[in-house]
Amino acid sequence: MNAEQSLAPAAATSAASRKRRWGPHLWPYLFALPFVLAYAAFQLYPVVYSFVLSLHDWNGISEKTYIGFKNYVQLWTNDPLFIKSLWNTLIMMLMFIPLTLILGLVLAYWTFQLTRGKRLFQTINVLPYITTPVAIGFIFSYLFDWQTGLVNLLLTKFGWLQEGFYWLQDPWGSRAIIALMVIWRNLGYFMIIFMAGMTVIPQDVYEAAKMDGSTGLHTFRKITMPLLRNITVFLVVTSVIGGLQLFDEPKLLYGGWSGSAQVGGPDNTALTVIWKFVDESFISNTRFGYASSIAYSLFVIIVFFSILSYRLTAPKEDKR
Amino acid sequence: MTVVNPNDYLQKLQSGIASGSDVPDVILGESAYRGKLFDLGVLDNLEGAPYNFDKSSVLDFTVPYISNGKGEVIAVDQAITPAGFAYRRDLAKQYWGTDDPAELEKLISSWDDFIAKGKELKDKSGGKVLMMPGLGDAFIALKGQNFAPYVNGTEVDLTAKVKEPLNKLFEMRDAGILGKNELWTPAWSASMAKGEFMFYPMAPWGPKWHISANDPDGKGRWGLVKAPEGGFTRGGTAVGIYKDSKNKEAAWAFVQYAYLSDEGSAYNFKTFGNMTGSKSFYETHKDLIEAPGPYDEFFGGQNLAKYFMEKIVPDMKGEPQSKYDSVVDGVFNALYPLWTKDTSVTADAALQKFIAETKNKASDATVK
């Protein structure tokens, strides 16, 4: 903005030839400037700064001490909780990404065919996606509470269980519930994106297929699914990135809304990388440098998994 | 002004200081993160100018709670937090034949008596009424009664701090006298009104924020008794002054008036039931202590302030604060639900797990 303002009087006074010489060259840069400045200030600088921070020992208040790559060495060789958090995150991603994709696709296909109530059905399915995470945390911790939860009440009422199951304190129970929360929240979003993809598939392709005698499941497998490939790649890559940053659901399930928050769930089986990062910087410790090294390690991991998931899902001709 | 959730307070404060933005002149240290706050070195020494606070003017047991590792007093207590047990008068009367605090003190004078009484209660009620809502509640009292310092620099002697409390805790769990609730969960809060449990650890802030809030119709059905084998502290907020504050005198004038002066203390007491740490208040305002407090009626007319001062405070000792306190508490909070669920875990195994997890979280410390 400033650059533009300071340029205005200069442009008015300068000769027409100078104007021509400067103008056309300058405009693209000028238009890009606001974004570049904002990016540099709010993205690039923090990214560089947190790398610098990761080479220091710092509690946010005292003097920073330069310690080289010690934080990274400690993190990768001597911090069982970090390895565990990474492992947990990957396990939970494996639980929710494929399932959300399949369910989202099926739901989208089914909704797409609906002639009546399509809008209503879409809206209902997208509601969880726009629900505040805190409310989701509340809902699920109420549902799965050991003593008073609705799920246990039903299970015991119908005689399937003698005593309620302690969902939230079971290593696999906790992960499954978190996966369920993510699926429940994202399903509507996946559905909408898939439906958008279906809308752009030309109808004549379907008509041609119909002429050739293809119907139902066959059309879905041979026409719809391949033509949705780019959409699927987008969803896989973005959900891998989002999945590695998993934090809201586990944190809120384990009392993010109450006074005594339990970090990491039962025996840290629900501890995710970001939760570990938050715990190191603000909850158990105040090690900003160490936490930055977690953030940077996660950045590298995300880059690696994004490329990997792209390579695995993208069509052959796009893989270069 | 920015309104901050207590859970986020320290985080916001750290970010504020780290980024060089505005920091409040008066800084609060809740018990959950008090040791960490003190360790950051952002609070001014109140014994120096311009405050010249005299630590002999406050109750002796509170001094460690307001001092940093160097022994400097860097905060004052918003209110003292000696704790005993709130109990359900109706249940005590029904199962033990008395709801008189003096009688109950005798019934549960030791933890062994407590366990025996708990078994009796469980049998008589057919398992409907237990002693406490969960392992978390019992541990607050058990660990809190062990005032011995357990941190020396980066050496954390967890065994000295929690071995005995864990042994007793597991004895209680195995006797089946504790419920299966986690602290602060909806089920835990609801249990107060339902009458499923006899005792809840309670400090002077409890009648307002804890008991009457969760059992609004429970007027008259609560009582206060001291815990077996002595007092402990529960919660509490320290109030300090930012070391680079530009308004130190004004900040101190506020803190001094609100939490130490007789007038401010009287207002706090009458309004919230908060009890100051200042010794002089208890001399000049004997009448207030004698008079019914704001929540006495809720507790069947029992004089709560007097009971706290006469029966609980005399046994109290102070516990030095450490940055590892919040780690230890966090680890306990993560572990006790598992011990509630899996009753095959022994006290010894629990201690080893406790030590291992604390090591994981406090990597700079030597934990034993």
Q: Judge whether residue B37 has pLDDT over 80.
A: yes
Contact list in B for residue A288 (CB cut-off 8 A) is 18
CATH number of B6-80+235-315: 3.40.190.10
Residue with the larger pLDDT of the pair A17 and B225 = B225
B327 Cβ contact list (under 8 Å, min separation 6): A284, A285, B358, B361, B362
Q: How far is B338 from chain A (nearest CA, A)?
A: 6
Q: Residue A282's pLDDT is what? A: 82
B159-175 mean pLDDT:
96
Q: How far are the Cα atoms of B117, B119, B339 from residue B171, in angstroms, in the given order?
A: 13, 12, 12
Token pair 């809190």 is found at B144
Q: Residue A4's pLDDT is what? A: 46
In a domain, A147, yes or no: yes
Residues A231 and A272 in one domain: yes
Contact list in B for residue A148 (CB cut-off 8 A) is 186-187, 190
Name the token pair of B133.
């809502």
In a domain, A233, yes or no: yes
In a domain, A62, yes or no: no
Q: Residue A11's pLDDT is what? A: 47
Residues A50 and A110 in one domain: no
Residues A47 and A144 in one domain: no
Q: Residue B58's pLDDT is what? A: 95
Find the CB nearest A60 among B14, B181, B185: B14
Find the CB nearest B40 among A59, A148, A283: A59
Q: Residue A285's pLDDT is what? A: 82
Q: Residue B166's pLDDT is what? A: 97
B310 Cβ contact list (under 8 Å, min separation 6): none
Half-sphere exposure of B22 (CA within 13 A, CB side): 6
Contact list in A for residue B11 (CB cut-off 8 A) is 281-282
Q: Residue A16's pLDDT is what? A: 58
Contact list in A for residue B185 (CB cut-off 8 A) is 141, 145, 255, 258
Q: How far is B334 from chain A (nearest CA, A)?
A: 5
Q: Judge whether residue B353 has pLDDT over 80.
A: yes
Condensed to tens digits (0 to 9), the pLDDT of residues B266-294 reads 999 988 888 999 999 999 999 999 998 88
Asked if B6-80+235-315 and B82-233+324-367 have one fold, the answer is yes
Residues A29 and A81 in one domain: no
DSSP string, B270-319: HHH----SBHHHHHHTHHHHHSPPTTTTTTTT--HHHHIIIIIGGG----
Residues A15 and A115 in one domain: no
In a domain, A64, yes or no: no
Structurally, how many domains does chain A consist of?
Answer: 2
Residues A33 and A123 in one domain: no
A264 Cβ contact list (under 8 Å, min separation 6): A81, A85, A254, A270, A271, A275, A276, A279, B334
Contact between B326 and A283 using a beta-carbon 8 Å cutoff? yes
Contact list in A for residue B17 (CB cut-off 8 A) is 60-61
Condensed to tens digits (0 to 9), the pLDDT of residues B191-210 reads 999 999 999 999 999 999 89
- Count of CB atoms situated within 10 Å of the CB of A52: 12
**Do B118 and B172 meet the contact criterion of CB atoms below 8 Å apart?**
yes
In a domain, A61, yes or no: no
In a domain, A254, yes or no: yes
Which class is domain B82-233+324-367? Answer: alpha beta
Across A56-65, B79-88, B327-336, B358-367, the highest mean pLDDT is recorded for B79-88
Contact between A282 and B41 using a beta-carbon 8 Å cutoff? no
Q: Judge whether residue B75 has pLDDT over 80.
A: yes
Q: Residue A95's pLDDT is what? A: 96
Question: At B118, which helix (H) or strand (E)?
Answer: helix B111-124
pLDDT along chain A (320 residues), means of 10: 47 54 78 94 92 91 90 93 95 96 93 88 90 86 84 90 86 93 94 93 89 85 88 94 93 68 83 93 86 95 93 71
Contact between A266 and B340 using a beta-carbon 8 Å cutoff? no
ipTM: 0.79
Token pair 């050739």 is found at A212
Q: How far is B288 from chain A (nearest CA, A)?
A: 32
| Full residue range of the structural domain in which residue A15 is found | 2-54
Q: How far are the Cα atoms of A135, B54, B236, B292 from residue B75, in angstroms, in the given order?
A: 37, 12, 12, 30
Find the CB nearest A61 among B17, B330, B360: B17
Q: Residue B281's pLDDT is what? A: 94
**Do A152 and A267 meet the contact criterion of CB atoms below 8 Å apart?**
no
Residues A287 and A241 in one domain: yes
Residues A35 and A89 in one domain: no
| CATH number of the domain encompassing residue A152 | 1.10.3720.10
Contact list in B for residue A52 (CB cut-off 8 A) is none
Q: How far is B131 from B142, CA to CA, in rounded Å?
A: 14
Residues A158 and A274 in one domain: yes
Q: How far is B18 from chain A (nearest CA, A)?
A: 5
Q: Which amino acid, B52?
A: N
Q: Residue A39's pLDDT is what? A: 95
In a domain, A296, yes or no: yes
In a domain, A154, yes or no: yes
Residues 131-150 of A with CB under 8 A from B: 141-142, 145-148
Residues A150 and A233 in one domain: yes
Contact between B14 and A258 using a beta-carbon 8 Å cutoff? no
- Count of CB atoms situated within 10 Å of the CB of A59: 21
Question: At B83, which helix (H) or strand (E)?
Answer: strand B82-88
Domain ranges of chain B: 6-80+235-315, 82-233+324-367
Chain A / chain B CB contacts < 8 angstroms? 96
The percent of residues in chain B predicted with pLDDT above 70, rounded, is 99
Contact between B360 and A59 using a beta-carbon 8 Å cutoff? no
